[in-house]
Amino acid sequence: MAKSPVTVTVTGAAGNIGYALLFRIASGAMLGPDVPVRLNLLEIPQAVKAAEGTAMELNDAAFPLLDSVNIYDDVNQAFEGSNVALLVGARPRTKGMERADLLAANGGIFGPQGRAINDHAADDVKVLVVGNPANTNAFIAAASAPDVPADRFNAMMRLDHNRAMSQLKEKTGTPISEIEKVVVWGNHSADQHPDVSYATLAGRPALEMLDAEWLSSYFVPTVAKRGAAIIEARGASSAASAASAAIDHVYDWVNGTPDGSWTTAGVASHGEYGVPEGLIFGFPTISRGGAWEIVSDLDISDATRAGIKRNIAAAQEELDAVRDLGIL
Ligand SMILES: NC(=O)C1=CN([C@@H]2O[C@H](COP(=O)(O)OP(=O)(O)OC[C@H]3O[C@@H](n4cnc5c(N)ncnc54)[C@H](O)[C@@H]3O)[C@@H](O)[C@H]2O)C=CC1
Ligand SMILES: O=C([O-])CC(=O)C(=O)O
């Protein structure tokens, strides 16, 4: 029997990430090759016409799984019946800015969207926040949706995770499919802590193959500052790789992570590793039955402990800033 369509809401649909994301969702890459999709696109009124153009192209691509495309500039309508919501719509940073500099411009977007999700989305809604600063925006949305369990609000840390895997592949020649148990702890900011302490490369411990100097002087800063390097090179922030990471995140959330491995997701802490409850933080995570579990029993090194502490402070500083702005 044909499955009924899943309603996917994408905000910022006319933007750069939206353009790279929507076609892959419609192709089945995000939910699976037999899951029809109803796309609800949310844009600000000035960008609705551009979203209409994207919708024309989506229809012209004749994806067998695409049930329908609807465009809204009303937040409540856009989240009606949403099973999956991708909160992408927000301003990107430009050269010289840190992601936290976007709080004043973007923070105000996520409270109303959280409330609309609370009031209109389906009971099983899963929300991935991509718009920066992603962890804090996810916290704002979750705090505005008291009837939705906090673990349904994720922040995208998967791009950082994928960047870490890519650097390991480049250094060692190990195929991506044979790199396991990398994690990027913390905040999607330059403070993040990419960590290979538990990683294996084709079954061998990564720490046996990589020298400490390369890890601390090249790997960690390259991964943590990759967003700024992309802005410097392209003149615009990463878009296709961000869309691809969003697809990976939701695919794993819905379909599960492979046995014996984990990925990085920005999820609400329950106090693991001393991270305050409710903070949305990059952790090693396993997905089973449509829910993330934090891998909570790792023996962590002093360096990892320090990285986690630094990220707690960075995340709390962003939350203090939004409180000062009256957003929370
Ligand atoms: N978490 C992550 O790993 C990454 C996050 N990002 C972030 O994603 C966000 C989007 O990036 P791009 O698509 O490149 O930006 P963009 O400027 O190309 O597109 C943003 C779109 O959002 C729309 N928008 C603004 N306010 C909105 C609202 N209230 N409701 C609905 N739509 C709204 C704009 O009209 C625009 O079409 C930025 O904040 C960027 O920093 C980008 C890359 C990676
Ligand atoms: O760096 C930025 O501003 C965009 C982003 O989040 C990334 O590429 O990781």
How do residues 33-80 score in pLDDT, each as one tens digit? 999 999 999 999 999 999 999 999 999 999 999 999 999 999 999 999
Query: What does the alpha-carbon distance between residue 111 and residue 134 come to, in Å, rounded to a whole number?
Result: 13
The reported pLDDT for the residue numbered 1 is: 60
Counting the structural domains of the chain, the total is 2
Report ipTM for this prediction.
0.99
Q: Is residue 325 part of a domain?
A: no
Q: Is residue 67 part of a domain?
A: yes
Model confidence at 250: pLDDT above 70: yes
Q: Which atom of ligand 2 is nearest to the CA of 228?
A: 1
Model confidence at 134: pLDDT above 80: yes
The model's confidence at residue 311, banded by pLDDT at 50, 70 and 90, is very high
- Give me the CATH number covering residue 231: 3.90.110.10
Q: Mean of the pLDDT values across residues 178-195? A: 97
Query: Does residue 169 sit in the same domain as residue 308?
Result: yes
Helix-helix angle 302-324:103-120, to 10 degrees: 90
Query: Does residue 92 sit in the same domain as residue 110?
Result: yes
Query: Does residue 217 sit in the same domain as residue 309?
Result: yes
Binding-site residue ranges:
12-18, 93, 99, 106, 113, 130-132, 163
Query: ∠ at Cα 80 (328, 70), nearest 5°?
Result: 115
The reported pLDDT for the residue numbered 117 is: 98
Which stretch of DSSP H or E encloses residue 114? helix 103-120
CA-closest residue to ligand 1 atom 41? 92
Domain boundary among 103, 130, 155: 155
Whole-number mean pLDDT of the chain?
97
Q: Is residue 62 part of a domain?
A: yes
- Residue 188 is among the residues annotated as catalytic for this protein: yes
Model confidence at 2: pLDDT above 80: no
Q: Is residue 162 part of a domain?
A: yes
Query: Does residue 77 sit in the same domain as residue 200?
Result: no
Q: Residue 297 sits in which domain range?
A: 158-318
Whether this prediction's pTM lies above 0.90 is answered by yes
Q: Is residue 21 part of a domain?
A: yes
Considering every ligand atom shown, identify the ligand nearest to the alpha carbon of residue 248 and give its number.
1
Q: Mean of the pLDDT values across residues 148-166? A: 98
Catalytic residue among 188, 193, 249, 270: 188
